[in-house]
Structure 1
């Protein structure tokens, strides 16, 4: 599953380097967190999503070090489908 930035604007993508990566080693992995287009900097609905191999991660953009939800691509698709009907 591929997540695309809102309106193709890569300037809104925040890259996070894996804590297992080092600056001098070849094993550098980064995750791109995409902020929801419905989120604002001062509002209560701040959500970011990142796709990795076989998983979709969701977190609160105001607490990037806090807890995350992890979905399979199929579960994420069902969640988005349900959320769009509510």
Structure 2
């Protein structure tokens, strides 16, 4: 790789980590990263440059609509999920 490219990537990394540290120290904020899940065609992935490919997540369908889902809490409680 070109030395200039690596140097620029290091500078970008420094700026990102510096801002994260400062926001954490001064405002008590923490950085949270998670993927954006969106419906195809709703416009949230329109910022791709053309050489990138949008992330695709395959979700298995439920075998039948009457399947029940529950939330299992750490304290042992179970709550039915209303759909």
When normalised by structure 1's length, the TM-score is 0.16
User: Looking at CA atoms only, which structure, 1 or 2, has the larger radius of gyration?
Assistant: 2
Q: Which one has a larger percent strand, Structure 1 or Structure 2? A: 1
Q: Which one has a larger percent helix, Structure 1 or Structure 2? A: 2
When normalised by structure 2's length, the TM-score is 0.17
